[in-house]
Amino acid sequence: MVEVVERTTSVTESLKEQNILAQQGTYSAAVEPTPKSSNRSENFAYLADPDHMIRRYFLDASLKQRILLRKIIAREAKHYNSILKILDFSRQGDVEDAYDAGVDLLAEFDTLELYDQAFQYLDAISQLVGQSSNQKTIRRLEDFWEILAKGISCAYKVSAEKRFELIGKISMGSQRRLVKTAVIDALVTIADDMEDVQPIKNFIGRYTSEHELDNSVRDYAQEALEDLE
């Protein structure tokens, strides 16, 4: 409990430092729950839980509130479970603009540490699932890989080289068309921030070779290469 209170205090102090809490009505509305108890620490504990904020971000927040919440969630999330939660919300039909909201949130993280852990988890699950005939499981994993790749490519606070490296790992996580093309899209996005685009071109070039059996992926990669010229 002490740890939670300390953490929440640090969140609140940090917000005050940014002079946001006092000035932005929408912000405080976004992060503060309706008081139900006179116990302040209980209320603040609720406030500080990144997973609660993720839920709020997807289910209750306006666009303005989402923009503000992104930065706090990205700073406060400490476990890769938060990334998995974001991926899960990002594919839900009942969440408004779920996919884009998820990508925008993932783009705010300033290191790839949690992404890397989420990648390892998904990679292990993918190997377990293997050639499963359960279409729902396959598609769920596909969605996760796809959104993770897109989110990493947009993580503007992380160097392009590091993003490139992790996308390279993700490219080996699944052989599905949706994931391969998501990797290609991610590489095109990252290319914008690379000093030397040639490694990206070489990587995408692999998908245009005869080793790639899916014509749709080959064409997609070819078009991506043309866009990079």
Partner 1 sequence: MDKSMLPSLNNFGIDAPGYIRKIDRLKHWDPENFDNLKSRAKVASERVFKPNSRNLHSLWYVETAEQFYGMVSVLSAGRTPRNQNIDFLWIDAEELDSTSIKPEPVPEGQCLFVSSLHFNAYIDPIASENLCLIMMQAGRKAQRCKEKKHTKLILEYQTERGCKATETSKENCDCEVVSL
- The tokens for 11 are 């969140």
Q: Write down the least CB distance from residue 31 to partner 1, Å.
A: 17
- Choose between 113 and 156: whose C-beta lies nearer to partner 1: 156
Whichever of 48 and 148 has its CB closer to partner 1, that residue is 148
Largest separation between any pair of C-alpha atoms in the chain = 67
Q: CB of residue 5 vs partner 1: minimum separation in angstroms? A: 32
Residues that bind partner 1 (CB under 8 A): 63-64, 66-67, 70, 91-94, 98-100, 103-104, 107-108, 146, 154, 156, 176-178, 181-182, 185, 188-189, 192, 214, 216, 220, 227
Nearer to partner 1, 210 or 229 (CB): 229
Closest distance of CB 210 from partner 1, Å: 18
d(CA 8, CA 80): 20
Report the residue number, 48 or 53, with the smaller CB distance to partner 1: 53
The minimum distance between CB 65 and partner 1, in angstroms, equals: 10
